[in-house]
Amino acid sequence: MSRNAEALATIRARAGDAPVALGLILGSGLGHLAHAVDGVAIPYADLPGFPHVSVSGHNPHLHIGMLQGVRVAVFGAREHFYENGNAAAMRPALEVLKDLGAGSLLLTNAAGSMRPDIPPGDLMLLSDHINYNGRNPLIGEPTDGRFVPMADAHDPALRAALRASAKAEGIDLKEGVYAWYSGPSFETPAEIRMLKLLGADAVGMSTVPEVILARFLGLKVAAISTITNMAAGLSDEQISHDHTKAMAPLGATKLERILRHYLNTLR
Ligand code: HPA
């Protein structure tokens, strides 16, 4: 049995055969959202091909079950490029998500803002991204499928639906461009000035490879950043991973409300 087939069999044995509608990957400090799912939590360690997550504040379980009456697959954690230098680390997990029947993927992350009108505690819906890291998770993919078009990679209809849900919940959901910076060190103030010049509104260490993989697999995708800090040099606050983990819950409450509202519209 292939690695993915083994993971799929384990998931179906524990969570049942019903297809999932949507996948959700949770970013730093957002892992608790997974516990809102009424279903089962499967440790990544039981699922061949799923990442070995080494980042504190992340919850390495796949939660499958109902949220607002919709069957979802929630990834409590991701493997980042900076952990092992593997941009395709999430590929097997996303392939399994596709095999579970999901049509779309919602990504979340913690990010630093370069826009004064998107301060810490705010959310930013990604309108687009810049692969500033330059690595691509499809390097080595032998099929022509690797030539993935990336215009409208952040699905316009899904984004519109998320904006509508935010509006209905009275939440100010800004939109902007996310730049992927490798990490794990944070950026320098000079790098942030450069990223701003290049057209980025926020910076973070994830999400972009997953957007590319999701588009490759034919999943619709949208991503929301919880802004945990102003990017380096833009404020006096000290940036750290502890700060990220402490600040992420500020946005998490709003994110959960948007998500629940959106899921309600799918029923
Ligand atoms: N830079 C990169 N990643 C981040 C940041 C940041 O300022 N904040 C949270 N994740």
Q: Give the CATH number of the domain where residue 35 resides.
A: 3.40.50.1580
Residues 226/255, Cβ–Cβ less than 8 Å:
yes
- The string of pLDDT tens digits covering residues 178-217 is 999 999 999 999 999 999 999 999 999 999 999 999 999 9
Residues 213/197, Cβ–Cβ less than 8 Å:
no
> For residue 38, how many other CB atoms are within 10 A of its CB?
13
> How far apart are the CA of 109 and the centre of ligand 1, in A?
9
- In Å, the largest CA–CA distance within the chain is 54
- The rounded distance, in Å, linking the Cα atoms of 217 and 229 is 32
Per the structure, the count of domains in the chain is 1
Asked whether 203 lines ligand 1 (CB < 6 A), one says yes
Domain that holds residue 210: 3-265
Asked whether 8 lines ligand 1 (CB < 6 A), one says no
Among candidate residues 226, 266, 221, the one with its CA nearest the CA of residue 246:
226
Q: What is the mean pLDDT of residues 161-178?
A: 97
pLDDT surpassing 70 at residue 57: no
Look at ligand 1, atom 3, and give the residue with the nearest C-alpha: 204
Atom of ligand 1 minimally distant from the CA of 230: 7
Backbone φ and ψ for 91, nearest 5 degrees, come out as -60, -50
CA 203 to chain centre: 13
Q: What is the DSSP string of 15-36?
A: H-SPPPSEEEE--TT-GGGGGG
Q: What is the pLDDT of residue 181?
A: 97
Asked whether 65 lines ligand 1 (CB < 6 A), one says no
Burial class (CB in 10 A: 0-12, 13-18, 19+), 152: exposed
pTM of the model: 0.96
pLDDT surpassing 80 at residue 29: no
| The total number of residues written for the chain in this structure | 267
Tokens representing 242 are: 């502890």
- The rounded distance, in Å, linking the Cα atoms of 68 and 52 is 29
- The string of pLDDT tens digits covering residues 133-148 is 999 999 999 999 999 9
> How far apart are the CA of 136 and the centre of ligand 1, in A?
20
User: Cα separations (Å) of 24 from 33, 83, 95, 97?
Assistant: 10, 21, 14, 10
* Residue 130: strand pairing partners: 179
Where is average pLDDT lowest: 69-78, 97-106, 167-176, 237-246? 237-246
Q: What is the pLDDT of residue 218?
A: 98
180, 205, 234, best to mutate for ligand 1 pocket (most atoms within 8 Å of CB): 205
What type of residue is 14?
R
Task: Give the pLDDT band (50/70/90) at residue 42.
Answer: very high
Asked whether 15 lines ligand 1 (CB < 6 A), one says no
Residues 65/71, Cβ–Cβ less than 8 Å:
yes
